[in-house]
Chain A
Amino acid sequence: MNVSLLFMDNEAELRNATVNRSEISADLNLDIILKFMARSDDFIYRTVRTVMTTPVTDKELILYRQEIIADFVKNHDSMLQLYELAARIIAENENHKEATKRVNSSNLSSYAAAQNILGQLSILVNGFEQTKKYLDSIHYNFQSRGMVSFYEKLCEDYSDDFVREIKESIKNLKHLSHGGEITLSSSVGNGFKMGNIVINHLGVDPNKKRKLAGKVSLLINRFVHRKVIMLENSKIYEDARELEAEGMAHIARLYSGFIQELSIFFDNLHYQLAFYLGASNLKKRMAQLHLPHCWPKISDDEKTFSFRGLYDLSLGIYNRETPVCNDLDTEDIKLFVITGANQGGKSTYLRSIGIAQLMMQCGLFVPASTYCSRIYDGIFSHFTRREDTALNSGKLDEELSRMNRILNQITTNSLLLLNESFASTTEKEGTGIALDVVNALYENGTKILMVTHLYEFTKTMYERKLQQAKFLSAERLPDGTRTYKILEKEPEHTSYGLDLYEQIISPGSEALTLP
């Protein structure tokens, strides 16, 4: 049965957005947020890490997850209990498997194999009963479509009758392993081997009550073509026991599909609950630190991109207070070029957008007072890596090989965050590469947010007066103070080269006027 809390009607989605997972986690400082969500639960940590870096592209699904998160926030404690129950059943099942693995080598007898499966079956079926009972007691509180239909499907797929019958059958099998009776039918196979062995029933044939016994039955037996073989001191004893054990193993094997089904169910449940608990943890802890958040608005026209009070959540968690917030209002802009002084908050700005977008696309609330954006089918980051200089392929090679990997995956509906890319070579070469890469992407429709120091690049782009480009800059007050705010602003013309030209060639001429 599908848990379908992370994905509607499914346990996995094929139409996920692509991200450059390992790079983006580092570039956006995601780890701080993930650890904050996990509250030192390693499984939650690993789960949220995967889910956060697997953004989805379906608006309905995003809303579906938002509802479930609301349910979890409201019922945090009982959801935590459910999560712990699933975790315990999985652990018990694993321990059982581990223990039997250690005891038995490869040549497991049929009897022992059957016993193992029986043990596993008991753990899972009992665990299931407990889970079901617990859900029975709390399901009235669910309001999200996801949780409600999860409970409904559970009741439908595993009715109480079904569970009762399974338990009855397990009892039968246990009885057989303690000296019960088994009847099988067979036909003459190739070379007089037994062929097509079918188990008729376990225990005494319910149709034939015990009729005759002892010597009288022996006589009758001869009459109706029966052969009775006494097993005491008989060579056939071993054969009979083997046939019985194989029958038991065969029945046990029929359960293996069910066992697998239940194991997968618990794994999925555990995993999916872990994400929502992480989300619920995040919400609680952000409230404690007075970090604001809101549900994002998904822009359907794919043009609006605006926010109020957006901040870098990882920085907020790190400093335990709300960092500088930014506002933006744009329609149909494809390229953002962000320039300005160092330490002006440009990288933080880029990060705050990347984080909010990832959080939105995995169904979470976002760190802002309002946030409206479209859904991207790919989110990529390319940040300069000052630290790794030792690669023998050279720094530019390393940079471009990362860019190359991004270009292999990026689409026209993607978001790309560039932070001081192409700076690992001369300004001239860097500008050349940047112009090629950015223009090609821009013309194809990819959304780019780019922090850059390449003045030539910025100047050239600005002079092109592109319709769908915007130039932002880190604010610097006249007295030189940095506010860490990013504002819309014409790029500064601090061209030393031009200054020099002016100085030498045409002092005081009109050429000073720049567009």
Chain B
Amino acid sequence: MAFQSILGRNGFFRQDPSDLVMPRFFQDLNLDQILNDLFSRYKLYDLRQFYYVKPDIDDVEYRQQVLKDLENEELHKAMVDFSINMRKSREYLANINQSEIPEQKRKWKLDAAFYYINTVLELYRVLGEGYINSEGLLSFRDWLGDYLKGAVFEGFRKDTENLIYEFSNMSYNIQIKRDHIIVNQGSNDEDYCGNLLALFKKTQKESYYQKNPFWEITLSNLEAAVLDMLKKLHPQAFSRLKSFDEKYDGFINSVIIDFEQEIQFYLSFCDIKKEMEEMGFHFCYPKVGADRFELKDIYDLVLARKNASQRKPVILNDCHFDKHERFLVITGPNQGGKTTFARAIGGIIYLGMMGLAVPASSASIPVFDSVYTHFATEESMETGAGKLKEELIRLKKMMDSSTRNSFIIINEIFTSATSYDAYIMGKRVLDFFMDKDCIGLYVTHIYELTKNDSRIGSLVATLLSEESQIRTFRIERREASGKGYANTIVEKYHMTYEEIKERIRR
């Protein structure tokens, strides 16, 4: 099948930027913290149009393949270079409008064409190096090959290269004296800075000016004077430049423009992935559409990144739903683990849906339409009845819009109600979603909610390590006891005999 888009086998529908809305669950899952950072780094491409839109289930694997290809560093770098060079070429085209001098306008166009040609030729070369196995990239390469071999592109390429060659051979030297300057044709081979560098025994060539003092796109008076001289010396070259300008317009192919934009979806995700991997974290490609739900060694991206920067360990967790289970109810001590665990799972489902890799060592996920989250809004100053009301209004919306295939995450709801009320309401909420056949997580203090329903699995946060004030938890499958946690200071600092023996480095 002919190439349509690198984001989807049958093409990718671009939404109008003004229609793009951040999915509701982004904030609750802290995905916004990770992605907004990416969006601003890639602001030239508006990544929202890719990250906010869920692909067809069939495209999940199509995308995973492309991402796997891009794990190859050579290919990844080539794609980054390709993007940079495409931008450079467009920048040169944009320079045309800034210039007043016809010759300069034409030269900018010629330079843009030359850049573009080299960029796409290089892209094709790299794609032929044997790095790619994905259907998406293979079919793009086929398309690109046809395009480059076409007579139109071929003629355009020859004209451009010939002309570029002529101009690149024009060199001159300038002597600046006290009251006059002399411009000579031809270059002078002496290299003052090169000699100086040799004195310092430096091997690298830095003898070119680091920056042209005439940084503006338009010509300085001096450059204009040089141009005048060159025009007189090379009339034929300049007339060929004129006909080039008349002959070629709009030479950048729209498929290539789309490809350049869409590949940023993968490149940007590779940034996150690489950053995490360099800190020692793992990713895997999930099996999406599995008939079971099983995650191994998961972690939350945001917390992991934060902990790694403070050199704190990150606890890995497992999570699975038994066949008959619809909801996992998570109980346990305050602060930390539970919410992070729920976030990690929500994030994994989202990334899996998008056809990306997930922070786990293995993952099988059923197909979900969407993720629905309900987290306590911390900023809300309201308490008591006001807070409960606000929570219930959000809950109602969620109940109405969620579908059978939604993944539901409810985190610390009804905290302002009495325990008994919170239990009764919680039971009803769980029943509602389970009757709808939704799958989800319910984080709460009310351990009674884990009882008397075979559709509910019980997970408990257990204290694993406690470094000063910050706690880290492992979430384990076990019966909720509701007991308070009595731990001595010794346990807190891991100073039992066995632990010390374990801790001392050899």
Name the residue of chain A whose CB is nearest to the CB of B216: A193
User: Is A396 part of the contact surface with B, judged by Cβ < 8 Å?
Assistant: yes
User: Is A106 part of the contact surface with B, judged by Cβ < 8 Å?
Assistant: no
The answer to whether B199 and A188 have CB atoms under 8 Å apart is no
User: Is B222 part of the contact surface with A, judged by Cβ < 8 Å?
Assistant: yes
**Residues of B close to A187: CB separation below 8 A:** 168, 170-172, 187
**Residues of B close to A138: CB separation below 8 A:** none
- Contacts A187-B168, A244-B176; A441 near B490 (Cβ below 8 A): no
The distance from the CB of A209 to the nearest CB of chain B, in whole angstroms, is 14
User: Is B177 part of the contact surface with A, judged by Cβ < 8 Å?
Assistant: yes
**Residues of B close to A407: CB separation below 8 A:** 493-495, 500, 503-504
Kindly identify, within residues 471 to 499 of chain A, every residue whose CB is under 8 Å from any CB belonging to chain B: none
**B contact patch SS:** mixed
- Contacts A188-B167, A410-B504; A183 near B175 (Cβ below 8 A): yes
The answer to whether A231 and B200 have CB atoms under 8 Å apart is no
The answer to whether A191 and B107 have CB atoms under 8 Å apart is yes
Which of A198-206, A352-360, A505-513 interfaces with chain B? A198-206
User: Is B196 part of the contact surface with A, judged by Cβ < 8 Å?
Assistant: yes
The distance from the CB of B295 to the nearest CB of chain A, in whole angstroms, is 31
The answer to whether B200 and A258 have CB atoms under 8 Å apart is yes
User: Is A215 part of the contact surface with B, judged by Cβ < 8 Å?
Assistant: no
- Contacts A239-B221, A243-B213; A183 near B196 (Cβ below 8 A): no
Query: CA separation between A185 and B208, bound complex, in Å?
Result: 10
User: Is A515 part of the contact surface with B, judged by Cβ < 8 Å?
Assistant: no
User: Is B290 part of the contact surface with A, judged by Cβ < 8 Å?
Assistant: no
**Residues of A close to B174: CB separation below 8 A:** 183-186, 243
The answer to whether A200 and B196 have CB atoms under 8 Å apart is no
Tell which of A185, A196, A396 has the most Cβ of chain B within 10 Å: A185
Per-residue contact bits, chain B 471-506, to A (CB 8 Å; 1 contact, 0 not): 000000000000000000110111111101101111
Query: CA separation between A226 and B494, bound complex, in Å?
Result: 83
Name the residue of chain B whose CB is nearest to the CB of A181: B177
- Contacts A190-B111, A227-B229; A183 near B193 (Cβ below 8 A): no
**Residues of B close to A235: CB separation below 8 A:** 221
The answer to whether A230 and B197 have CB atoms under 8 Å apart is no
- Contacts A239-B221, A400-B493; A412 near B506 (Cβ below 8 A): yes
Name the residue of chain A whose CB is nearest to the CB of B234: A188
**Residues of A close to B393: CB separation below 8 A:** none
Query: CA separation between A396 and B495, bound complex, in Å?
Result: 13
Tell which of A186, A196, A202, A257 has the most Cβ of chain B within 10 Å: A186
Name the residue of chain B whose CB is nearest to the CB of A206: B190
- Contacts A188-B170, A254-B193, A400-B489; A227 near B225 (Cβ below 8 A): yes
Name the residue of chain A whose CB is nearest to the CB of B211: A246
**Residues of A close to B189: CB separation below 8 A:** 200
- Contacts A243-B213, A254-B197, A407-B503; A199 near B497 (Cβ below 8 A): no
The answer to whether A191 and B111 have CB atoms under 8 Å apart is yes
User: Is A397 part of the contact surface with B, judged by Cβ < 8 Å?
Assistant: yes
The answer to whether B222 and A239 have CB atoms under 8 Å apart is yes
**Residues of A close to B176: CB separation below 8 A:** 181-184, 240, 243-244
The answer to whether B210 and A250 have CB atoms under 8 Å apart is yes
User: Is A229 part of the contact surface with B, judged by Cβ < 8 Å?
Assistant: yes
- Contacts A193-B214, A250-B209, A411-B505; A225 near B221 (Cβ below 8 A): no
User: Is A166 part of the contact surface with B, judged by Cβ < 8 Å?
Assistant: yes
User: Is B184 part of the contact surface with A, judged by Cβ < 8 Å?
Assistant: yes
Query: CA separation between A397 and B489, bound complex, in Å?
Result: 6
User: Is B192 part of the contact surface with A, judged by Cβ < 8 Å?
Assistant: yes
The answer to whether B200 and A242 have CB atoms under 8 Å apart is no
Query: CA separation between A240 and B226, bound complex, in Å?
Result: 12
Query: CA separation between A247 and B207, bound complex, in Å?
Result: 10
Per-residue contact bits, chain B 220-234, to A (CB 8 Å; 1 contact, 0 not): 111101111110010
- The listed residue (B208, B226, B493) touching A196 by CB distance below 8 A is B208
Per-residue contact bits, chain A 236-279, to B (CB 8 Å; 1 contact, 0 not): 10111011111100110110011000000000000000000000
Kindly identify, within residues 266 to 304 of chain B, every residue whose CB is under 8 Å from any CB belonging to chain A: none
The distance from the CB of A191 to the nearest CB of chain B, in whole angstroms, is 4
The answer to whether A200 and B173 have CB atoms under 8 Å apart is yes
The distance from the CB of A423 to the nearest CB of chain B, in whole angstroms, is 15
User: Is B95 part of the contact surface with A, judged by Cβ < 8 Å?
Assistant: yes
**Residues of B close to A231: CB separation below 8 A:** 179-181
Tell which of A224, A243, A439, A441 has the most Cβ of chain B within 10 Å: A243
**Residues of A close to B181: CB separation below 8 A:** 228-229, 231, 236, 240
The distance from the CB of B110 to the nearest CB of chain A, in whole angstroms, is 9
Count of chain A residues with Cβ under 8 Å from any Cβ of B?
A: 79
**Residues of B close to A221: CB separation below 8 A:** 182
The distance from the CB of A139 to the nearest CB of chain B, in whole angstroms, is 24
The answer to whether B99 and A191 have CB atoms under 8 Å apart is yes
User: Is B399 part of the contact surface with A, judged by Cβ < 8 Å?
Assistant: no
**Residues of A close to B107: CB separation below 8 A:** 190-192
Query: CA separation between A446 and B495, bound complex, in Å?
Result: 16
The answer to whether A185 and B171 have CB atoms under 8 Å apart is yes
The answer to whether B217 and A184 have CB atoms under 8 Å apart is no
**Residues of A close to B197: CB separation below 8 A:** 254
**Residues of B close to A91: CB separation below 8 A:** none
- Contacts A202-B192, A229-B183; A197 near B209 (Cβ below 8 A): yes
- Contacts A182-B176, A187-B170; A243 near B503 (Cβ below 8 A): no
The distance from the CB of A43 to the nearest CB of chain B, in whole angstroms, is 30
Query: CA separation between A197 and B214, bound complex, in Å?
Result: 12
The distance from the CB of B422 to the nearest CB of chain A, in whole angstroms, is 32
**Residues of A close to B489: CB separation below 8 A:** 394, 396-397, 400
**Residues of B close to A253: CB separation below 8 A:** 210
- Contacts A169-B196, A183-B175; A227 near B207 (Cβ below 8 A): no
User: Is A436 part of the contact surface with B, judged by Cβ < 8 Å?
Assistant: yes
User: Is B108 part of the contact surface with A, judged by Cβ < 8 Å?
Assistant: yes
The distance from the CB of A260 to the nearest CB of chain B, in whole angstroms, is 11
Name the residue of chain A whose CB is nearest to the CB of B88: A190
Name the residue of chain A whose CB is nearest to the CB of B197: A254
Name the residue of chain B whose CB is nearest to the CB of A190: B111
The distance from the CB of B177 to the nearest CB of chain A, in whole angstroms, is 5
Query: CA separation between A401 and B489, bound complex, in Å?
Result: 9
User: Is B188 part of the contact surface with A, judged by Cβ < 8 Å?
Assistant: yes
User: Is A78 part of the contact surface with B, judged by Cβ < 8 Å?
Assistant: no
**Residues of A close to B3: CB separation below 8 A:** none
User: Is A156 part of the contact surface with B, judged by Cβ < 8 Å?
Assistant: no
- Contacts A188-B167, A199-B192, A231-B181; A404 near B206 (Cβ below 8 A): no
**Residues of A close to B111: CB separation below 8 A:** 190-191
**Residues of B close to A244: CB separation below 8 A:** 176
Name the residue of chain A whose CB is nearest to the CB of B209: A197
**Residues of A close to B36: CB separation below 8 A:** none
The distance from the CB of B232 to the nearest CB of chain A, in whole angstroms, is 9
Name the residue of chain A whose CB is nearest to the CB of B173: A185
Per-residue contact bits, chain A 158-189, to B (CB 8 Å; 1 contact, 0 not): 00001001100100000000010111111111
- The listed residue (B185, B207, B468) touching A199 by CB distance below 8 A is B207
CB-CB nearest 5 A-B residue pairs: A440-B500, A239-B222, A246-B213, A404-B493, A436-B497
For this complex, 19 residue pairs linking A to B, each with C-beta atoms less than 8 Å apart, are: A169-B196, A183-B176, A186-B174, A188-B230, A192-B219, A193-B217, A193-B223, A194-B214, A195-B212, A196-B208, A197-B209, A221-B182, A227-B229, A229-B181, A400-B490, A401-B468, A403-B495, A443-B501, A444-B501
- Extra inter-chain contacts (15) besides given A184-B176, A407-B500, A411-B505, CB under 8 Å: A185-B174, A185-B188, A190-B107, A190-B111, A193-B214, A197-B209, A198-B188, A200-B188, A226-B182, A228-B181, A229-B182, A231-B179, A232-B179, A250-B209, A411-B504
